[in-house]
Amino acid sequence: MKIVVVGGTGLIGSKVVAKLGEHGHEAVAASPASGVNTLTGEGLEQVLKGADVVIDVSNSPSFEEAAATEFFKTSNSNLLAAEKEAGVGHHVALSVVGTERLAKADNNPQSTSGYFRAKLLQENLIQQSGIPYSIVHATQFYEFAAAIADTGTEGDTVRMPGALIQPIAADDVAKTVARAAVTPATNAITEVGGPEQYEMDEFIRIALTTRKDPRTVVQDPNATYFGIAVDERSLVPEGDALLGDIHFGDWLASQAAEGK
């Protein structure tokens, strides 16, 4: 099976390409570096020839609403049109658990709620394209714990909301996306999260302590998530979600063993 992975050189994309290759599929990493640009349409016709499935794990380089909207609108319009022309039978996209909830959290202009409105636009374009699709909603990655901490840092203190978070290893996300690509289209959204839930301050405290980061983590009811006011369940899956296999403690241990 030929599977084109748009964004195939990034954190998730490179793992998806590797996992598909291990199972004997022809996985093609498509990115501007390989001559494929979904914003201009360059290289799409060539790379999609003979493709059975397209996986899109690309992302906007900006969280600002206008820029993210332009990225997802242009990129997806070009990609979906090229897929129709090439006769691609299945479109798989990676998005975020809580996208609809976060898109409505319009609490301040500096928040990333506009980014989630752009993600919602992307999902709508896919759903209306007429191409069989599968959308995977994933929770936040273990790999981004430090970035989350940085957004709440004031001096030596990290202020985090008490919202629940169910983080997941990028490897488990890639496995879920790859599995979606080699099974029939669901024409629906599938959610995946990690095997454990934490209050956000607890998750960040564990991550920083393991890395011997001296910052103090506190729970603050007024703290936000990338500028967005969140409630207890804004960031966790609803209903029956798929669960990753890799526990946070085991992931941290593996990172330490690799000197990361």
Report pLDDT digits (tens) over 109-162: 555 688 999 999 999 999 999 999 999 999 999 999 999 999 999 999 999 999
Looking at residue 42, its pLDDT comes to 97
**Is the per-residue pLDDT at 63 higher than 70?**
yes
Pairing of strands 90-96, 133-138: parallel
Report pLDDT digits (tens) over 198-209: 999 999 999 999
199: CB partners within 8 A, 6+ apart: 162, 163, 164, 165, 219
Identify the CA nearest to 130 among candidates 189, 178, 170, 88: 88
For residues 212-238, average pLDDT: 93
Question: What is the rounded CA–CA span in Å between residue 61 and residue 19?
Answer: 25
Question: What is the rounded CA–CA span in Å between residue 117 and residue 123?
Answer: 10
Task: Give the chain's mean pLDDT.
Answer: 95
Total number of residues shown for the chain: 260
CA atoms within 13 A on the CB side of 124: 11
Torsion, Cα 150 231 220 117, to 10 degrees, reads 30
Looking at residue 107, its pLDDT comes to 53
Question: What is the rounded CA–CA span in Å between residue 213 and residue 226?
Answer: 21
CA distances from 133 to 120, 156, 161 (A): 15, 45, 34
Looking at residue 6, its pLDDT comes to 98
Q: Which amino acid does the sequence have at 235?
A: L
Report pLDDT digits (tens) over 181-198: 999 999 999 999 999 999
Looking at residue 241, its pLDDT comes to 95
Band (pLDDT 50/70/90 cuts) for residue 104 is: confident
Looking at residue 106, its pLDDT comes to 60
Q: Which domains does the chain have, with CATH numbers?
A: 2-257 (3.40.50.720)
